[in-house]
Every structure is written in structure tokens, then in C-alpha cells.
Amino acid sequence: MFSQNHQQGHSSRLNGGGLGGQRIPLPFNYQQGQHHQQSHLQHHQSVQQDHTGHNGNGGAVGHHSNYSSGVLSNATPFTPSGLQNGHVGTSTTTRGGQAQPINEHWAEQLRLHKEAERAHAAMTEQAQPHYYARLKASENKGISYPSPAGKASSGDSDTDDRRRPYSVDRARNHQAWHNLDMSGQGLRNLTPALFAYSFLSELYIASNKLTHLPASIGQLRQLRHLEASYNQITELPPELGMCTYLKELLLFNNNIRTLPYELGSLHLLEQLGIEGNPLSPDLKQEIVERGTKSLINLLKEQSPVPPPPAPRKFITVQEDVSASLERIKVFSWNVLCDKYATPQTYGYTPTGALSWEYRKECVMEELRDKDADFLCLQEISTESFKEELSPALAQMDYKGVHWPKTRAKTMGEKDALGVDGCATFFKASKYILLDKQVIEFAAIAINRPDMKNQHDVFNRVMPKDNIAVVCFLESRATGARVILVNGHLAWESVLADVKVIQTGILMEQIAKYAERWVRWPAVKDKRLFSFSTPMKEGDEATRPATPQEPAPSQEYRNNTDIPLLICGDLNSTVDSSVYELLSQGRVPPDHLELAKFQYGSFTRDGIEHPFSLRDAYAHLQGTPDELPFTNYTPGFVDVIDYLWYSTNTLEVVDLLGPPDAECLKRVPAFPNYHFPSDHIQIMAEFVIKARKEKKVLPEPDFGTGSGGGDKSGR
């Protein structure tokens, strides 16, 4: 709660000037104790008594008879068979002398409308602004820290959202208040400073003189309740659809005639208060007969496909790269497995855009367009890999490797086909697959001598069946060899320790594989097999060019000499221990994300790896082209997907830039029609550094010496 002096400055910012006779907007909180429950119950009992004291809704709507002659003036009559849940209210309305039943939802609409009417009367007739703050004043006995999003799920079932590393209520900065009452002050405009309070969960701007809501309202992504009744608003901004957590949007007694399709994103909305507005008959009928949920779903499903965003541009990191150096294009993407793409999780996405058939075509189009040498895809089911991706990508010169998560081993063959995992594809005409391995983090952890008796391993690491796929490849043209890693770590925010343990195991296994691969024998025959067809007379012009003669396999002295690429969805931000381990090569045992747990030598001595790694997109940090996110959902927007490379063997040349920022101003979250996953794809082009030739020192010639002698050295 602000002090008085702070409130004055706060009011000045919000209202665009000094006090000047205007009253101060009051922030307030809700105490979550017994007193709140009693007061809240008493308040609603009084409202219910007041509402039931009226016959029908005459008292509720008499003050706006210029808009409608009754509750259903803009709606066609309906029968009980069309009522929500089959319930019929006890109240009735009169239209044309005939009684019309009121369903449960519309009865609640009328109750809220009556409450808004009473609040408006108190603020205008009795000169008592900040009605809602005053109403809750008795409950503000102390400052609480409510989390606007509620508790996070800690379950591990398939219905959990496995693609968001943080729950939507993760509070990075504790905020003492989440509610603001600016009602009844005669405001004509809302200052942009208001929308800097992105933490607001409740905003009251009722009983003012607002004619519109600014587009900046979309910045209040945490809003749960917006009360804007009794203004002069004529239309709603499409950006209001960005507030996907809204549960109550009350707009009673304005001049709104239609609703933007973008409101279809408000899939959690329970009550859209529109009574007292000249709303179009079809929209009015939908909400009266079927309720808010049905109307919002109608807007979502009938919304036209928006124009595509501007293509993502490639950002040049290094110019004047020698043409003699071999280039490698690497692409990574969590494509969102079909079984996770449910309406319950992605209620803001139209059904057509959420279907796997549509999203699959978008994914394939993107893969064709980028034409990378290596594709690292996450959340690919075994069935999709075998039946869909492999056949389609084979026509684009790709061969693939896939492993599902370890739970597939415990399932029947049919059920195992639906388990997702990691799929790696490579251009078969350019590269030879020398070896492939799967790293099952849980299995390795419980079999390590220093971990197998640790409770934290069994309780935290073992239940997570994440994997990584490691491929060892050789270039047909140059003989250069590459280690390509494709991984997907645990997603839960409460398992930060598990993520760094998984990463430690990953790096430990890569080092062991690389030791073996240093001694891998040379490939004797690297010519690409192809079918030959007899040439006909006159076909000389179409004869294919003679392929480049393959170079011999390159040799490497130690495990850090082989070029290394680590790609995937690591579900970790730049301030995590996972990022620290990969970038710094070490995480100490007293790290905050490790100190409370027991994981053998990892928590006794720390976690280390021998490679010199860098995040490819670190080159863009602090620039206008910095990648703002790779995961874009209502409750989480951040970078959690990476392309790591060994700096002693590789250099970054180009990076796929960020999505069009202008397009995102009306896009609350992914997936949608133009972004088929809740993750975006990342891509980089590397060059393999020129290797330093071993210097062959000439044999020393000591001559005959000062005293002469035999030149043969005998």
C-alpha cells in the first residue's frame, strides 16, 4: 500500500497531471482470510436480496430504455431446450406480453448489472468515487501478496503442460498490490503510464467519461477482472484479446455495437457484461441463450485467418568468411506433439489452427524453406516420425534418427507409437552417419555408483524420462566430422536441480563418446549410391555434373577437437544453472539450484565439462535483433531453446532473426495459423574453422663439430 505522499505522485502519473481537484486512484488488496470470506458473503447476500426484490428486470434496465425495451430486445425468443445446462431461472422478462424464461447465466448477468448500477449511483449521485476500493476497505487489514495466477500444477501426468518451464504464477518480483480503482473520477482518457503496471490483476475504471479503451490495454497481460461499465465506449480494441487471463469483463451501459474477433482469445472468460449496450442482435442472442463461453468460442472459431507476418530475416554475424571453409546450417524446433496440443491447454487457438494436419503442413513448409543440413526436432512421436516426417523428408534428401522418451519401453507397441521424443535429420548427400546414441538421463543416474543410493535421484531425477539423441557424422566432401546433440530437458520450474543434473550427465556422456570417436576408423568408401539409367541420344545436356571427389576422413587428437553442436529445448533461461554449466564449463556444488540436494559427486565436487561452448544467439544479445523469446505462451515468454557450439572448432556466420514485433501486438500466444507450435524455430549457419597443420620440424643437422669427425654420426 502506498503512503499518502506516494499516492499523490502516483495519481499524477496516472491522470496525466497534478491533483487539480481530481481524486486519487486507490490501489487495494484482498485479504485472503476468514474476514474476507464473511464480508464477501454478506455483500453478495445483500446484492441477491436487492436483486430478488425487483419484479423481472425492470429496475435493472429502466435507466437505459433508449437502448432496449427489455432484456431480450435484440434477441429472438428461445425455449428451455436451448438453455445452458437445461436450467430455467425463476425470474421472467416480458416481451410482447409473453413471459420469457431467464437461464442461469443471464440471471448472473442481471445480478452483476444491478451491482454495477448501484456502484454508479453511489459514485455519481452520492459523490463517492473509488466505490470498489471503499467496498473492500474493511478487508484491507494488511498487505498480502496474492499470486494472480493461482497455484501451479506439480503433477506429472500426460495432461500437464510439458512445454512451459515456469508456471504462470511465477512471481519474479513480489508486488504488494495487484488492484487499482480509478472509477468515478470523470476521466476522459487513460494515460499510457497506467499500462506500465503489467502486474495488475484487477482494474476498475467504471463511471467515467471514456469513449474508448487504448490499444495499450493489451499490455496488462495479468488482468483477471476489468470493470469499465457506465462509460461512453463505442468499440473495443482488438488488443484486449491479449489479456487471456480475464475472467470478468464488465462493460455494462456503454455504446458497444459489435465485438472484435480477437476477444475469441479470452478462453478463460466467465462473464462478459454487455447488458445496456446496443449490441448486434446475433451477438446478443448468442450470449443470452448460450452464455459467455459460447460467444467467446464463436468469435474464436469464426475469426478470419490474419495476414501472415513479415518473414524472419537472417542476421549476419560474421562477414568476409573464406569461401574455402565448409559451412553447416543447423535448425532446431520443438514442434509441439499432437497429443499435447489440446483445447484445454491452448484454448486461445482456433480449432483449425490447432489440428495436427494443419500444423504438420506448416512445419513441413518451414523445413522445406530453410533447407538446413541438420534438423533437430523435439516432441516428435514415433508414429509421426515413421509415418509422416521420414517419408516426406526423404524426398528432400534427409535421413533421420529418432528415439522416444524412455516411458515407451513400459508400453505396448500401439501405445508406444504415441510417445514423443527427439528426431534428428541430416542431408544424406552431404553427410554419413557414423554412429548414433541415446542418452537416457534417469537410467544413467540411478546406475551411477555415487548416485544410486541417493533419495533425490529416486524422487526427482528418476521420474523424468527425458532423453537426448547424439549423432556422429562425417562430411562426404571434406572428411570433417561433427558431433550433433539433440536434447529435451525437464520442463518443471521446481525441478531446476534435475535440469542441471540432466545437463551434467549429458556433457559427461558426450565427453565419453568423443573419446571413443577420436579413434574411429576412416571411412573407406564415401561415394553416394545412386541408380544409373541409360543415356539416350541428345541427353548430353542433362547429364548430371560429376560429383566432387570425397576427401579422406579427418583425424582428431582429442575429444575436444571434434566440432560439437548441442541443440534443443533445454527449458532453461540464461540465468539458470544449465546455462551457466554450458557456458562456463562448471557449476559449483553450492549453487542455489544444487545446494539443497544430494547427487553424489555432482553435489560434492560440482559439475564440469571439458568443452569450450557458446550460445550461438549470444552474438545478438543487447542488439536490436536480440531474440526476445523462443517459447511464447500467455504465462511465459522467454528464451529456452538453444544452439550451442564449440568455439575452438566452429564460428557463427548467420542467425535466423526474431519474429515480426508488429505482428505480435495482437497475438497473445502461440500456436496460431502462422506459428504452428508454442516454440519458434531457431537456426544458425556455422563454418568449420581451418585446422592448424602440424608443423613438421626438420631433423637437426649438428654438422661435424669444431673438431671435425664422421658426418654419418658414427
SS3 call for 231: coil
As a whole number of Å, the end-to-end CA separation of the chain is 97
* Dihedral, CA of residue 331, residue 332, residue 337 and residue 338, to nearest 10: -30
Whole-angstrom CA distances from 636 to 149, 175, 177, 585 are 12, 18, 21, 28
Active-site choice (569, 615, 654, 678): 569
Q: Is the peptide bond before 550 cis (omega within 30 degrees of 0)?
A: no
Contacts of 596 (CB under 8 A, 6+ apart): 497
Could you tell me if 683 and 332 are in contact, meaning their C-beta atoms sit under 8 angstroms apart? Answer: yes
Q: What is the distance between the alpha carbons of residues 68 and 54, in angstroms, rounded to a whole number?
A: 18
The reply to whether 569 belongs to the active site is yes
Could you tell me if 652 and 320 are in contact, meaning their C-beta atoms sit under 8 angstroms apart? Answer: no
Could you tell me if 47 and 115 are in contact, meaning their C-beta atoms sit under 8 angstroms apart? Answer: yes
Amino acid, res. 178 = H
Could you tell me if 259 and 282 are in contact, meaning their C-beta atoms sit under 8 angstroms apart? Answer: no
Q: What is the distance between the alpha carbons of residues 232 and 559, in angstroms, rounded to a whole number?
A: 71
Could you tell me if 594 and 456 are in contact, meaning their C-beta atoms sit under 8 angstroms apart? Answer: no
Element (H, E) at 580: helix 577-584
Q: What is the DSSP string of 232-299?
A: ------GGGGG-TT-SEEE--SS------GGGGG-TT--EEE-TTS---HHHHHHHHHH-HHHHHHHH
Q: What is the DSSP string of 553-568?
A: PP--SSTTSS-EEEEE
SS3 content of the chain, % helix, strand, coil (to 5): 30, 20, 50
Q: Would you state the cell numbers that stand for residue 496, as one nine-digit string? A: 531446476
Q: Would you state the cell numbers that stand for residue 137, as one nine-digit string? A: 476497505
Q: Any idea which residues carry the catalytic annotation?
A: 569
